[in-house]
Each structure stands twice: as structure tokens, then as C-alpha cells.
Amino acid sequence: MKEKLKDALALATAVLVVSALYMVFIYAPTEANMGNIQRIFYFHVSFAWTGFVAFFGTFAGSIMYLIRKKRCWDILAVSSAEIGIAFCLVVLTTGPIWARPVWGAWWTWDPRLVTFLILTFMFVAYMIVRGAIEEETKRGRFSAVIGIIAFLNVPLTYVANVMWRTIHPDVIRPDKVDLDPRMIHALFMSMSAITLLYVILLLWRMDLEGMRDRVAELKKKIMEEA
């Protein structure tokens, strides 16, 4: 039953991804000032949003691990962190590609860009700490604390456009959305596809971590019997 659910999710993800590609490149109109380079926006925003969701998964898993001390929560935290870092790297790649023809520079020390970069580095540090500690309980406890602290930078990154003067575009605001309706449709289709992609990747990554635990237990048992 579990495998059938994953297969169904994988199929739904594929359908949504194909639909998102159609809406981004065909359905959505070309932006008047930036031209076709603006289409990066749909992927850039979608991966950024889902990166935040992934880091929330690490945040929630870390809190639950500190409370319950159960390995399953640590598995959720690390699996979600790895996917979040990968998604953030997509954001940090698509951003400069979009910025170069629009801003005339690959990178500017804009508050949102800087806070997002720091956020990514903090979760990379989370992974480094995990790799440096061998004892399972100690590793889970130390990395959980870092995962919780690192997540506090997510809301800071989100509100950077409000707190500081910035050139980063902010077309989606609580009171107004400065987009053509077809662009909104394409954006939300893209966000849905990437969010579901995160979910299926998370399930697969957690399964992989579970298999690693079982292999480690088997090795330990063999060593004890030898």
C-alpha cells in the first residue's frame, strides 16, 4: 500500500511538472519589459518557496526529535534539509541568470539575496555537523539545535524586502499581486509541481536513510557474532 501511494505521488508529480512547463512556456504571456528571461521567475520563486517548506520540515523534525528522542524525527529533519539545500542551490543559480540581463550584474549585495545565501550556508553547516559526529544520539541532538536556529532565518529572508530597502522584485504582496492573471496561474501551477516534487523526494530520501540504519544494524550484528 505504501509503495502504491508513492507510485501515485510520483505520477501526479510528473503530470504537474509537465503541466507547469506548458503553462510557463506557452500559456503565460511574455513579460513586456524583460521578455522571455522573465520566465525564470516561475521556477525561481517555486524553488525558493519549497526550499522554505523543506527547512520548516527540518525545523519541525528537530523540535520533535528533542522532545521525543525518536530516530524517525531525525530522519525527517536531515532528509528535508538535504532537499532544501538542493532547492536553494537552484534558486541561487537561476537568480543570477535572471539578474544579469535585468540588473546588469550577476550578483548584488541586496538584503534578500544576502539573507537567503546565509540561510543556505547555515543548513550546509547543519549537514557538516552531522557528518562530523558519529554517535547517533549526540549527532541528532546537536544537529537539531542547529536546524532550529537556522530556520529562524527563513522569516527574516521572507520579510527582507519590507525591513530594508531592496531592488529585489516583490510582485506578490498580501494586499496586491502585480501579475497578469495567466502569470498567476502559471506561478501557482509551478509552485504546486515543485512542492509535490519535494514531498516525493522526501519520502524517497527517508526510505534511503532507513535502509542505511538497517545496513548499519546488520553490520553491527555480524561484528558481534564474529
Interior angle at CA 124, CA 122 and CA 127, nearest 5: 115
CA nearest to 47, candidates 5, 100, 6, 97: 97
Grid coordinates of 179: 501579475
Query: Residue 131, CB half-sphere, CA atoms under 13 Å: how many?
Result: 7
Show pLDDT as tens, one digit a residue, over the chain (226 residues): 578 888 899 999 999 999 999 999 999 998 878 888 889 999 999 999 999 999 999 999 999 999 999 999 999 999 999 999 999 999 999 988 988 887 777 878 887 888 899 999 999 999 999 999 988 899 999 999 999 999 999 988 877 666 656 656 665 555 556 677 899 999 999 999 999 999 999 999 999 998 988 988 888 888 877 6
Burial class for 76, CB neighbours closer than 10 Å (0-12, 13-18, 19+): buried
